[in-house]
Amino acid sequence: MSDNSVIYIGSKPVMNYCLAVLSSLQGDASSVFLKARGRAISTAVDVAEVTKNRFLQDLSVKSIEIGTEELESEGRTRNVSTISIELGKG
């Protein structure tokens, strides 16, 4: 059985999330899911690439999924795009 972690990407600096990925993978997690919405989607891709290229060479992208979520704000709903990037060792 593998233990998975989810890291929600927001507007903090990329390095903060890279550190979160590294510490998740040093624990029990065999893979980590980066999840982001809207403008943070590009940050999620940055986090995956920087972690892989600079910190953990044996890390690879296992899967990427995109989708749409409905957000309710100020009484009306709007659609926002989402991404989920699975990173794992090996």
Please identify which residue in 41, 51, 59, 88 interacts with a second copy, judged by CB under 8 A: 41
Between 22 and 49, CB nearer to a second copy:
49
Between 28 and 66, CB nearer to a second copy:
66
Please identify which residue in 7, 20, 21, 83 interacts with a second copy, judged by CB under 8 A: 83
Examine residue 38 and tell whether it contacts a second copy (CB under 8 A).
yes
Query: Please, is 9 exposed, middle or buried when counting C-beta atoms within 10 Å of its C-beta (0-12, 13-18, 19+)?
Result: buried
Examine residue 13 and tell whether it contacts a second copy (CB under 8 A).
no
Angle, helix 14-26 to helix 40-50, in steps of 10 degrees: 50
Rounded Cα gap, residues 88 and 85, in angstroms: 10
